Amino acid sequence: MPGLIAQNLALWSAFPETAQKYLFVGDSELWFFAYEIPTATYVALSRSTVRPVHRFSGIEALVNDMLAQAIGHFDEDSEDATGALQSKAPKLRGGVPISLLTDA
């Protein structure tokens, strides 16, 4: 637990507006993985905008996706060959794209 707290303090100090909203649980080259406190859901945040791009059905789905990315196993729609963010929400395993949940 001390490592998780220290990592959150270090990461969110660069993004003070998100410090009270997210609990950081992991990251990849494109995403921050976090627990969104106000909605009690697990999300993938874009590294470039620090905005949610995906909601997971639970912690198991989030961890499975993090592990799949760590070993280089991506769903065919999760990212393009250059690693650039897609114009629509990515289809990460185990959840619902944010675009289906919001009017944004």
Residue 61 covered by a domain: yes
Overall pTM surpassing 0.85 (yes/no): no
Q: Is 9 exposed, middle or buried (0-12, 13-18, 19+ CB in 10 A)?
A: exposed
The Cα-based distances of 74 to 29, 46, 66 in angstroms read 13, 16, 10
Residue 103 covered by a domain: no
Residue 17 covered by a domain: yes
Task: State the residue range of the domain holding 53.
Answer: 2-98
Query: How many domains is the chain partitioned into structurally?
Result: 1
- For the stretch 42-99, pLDDT in tens is 999 998 899 999 999 999 999 998 888 888 766 654 433 333 333 344 555 555 444 4
Please give the Cα distance from 104 to 97 (Å, whole number): 12
Residue 104 covered by a domain: no
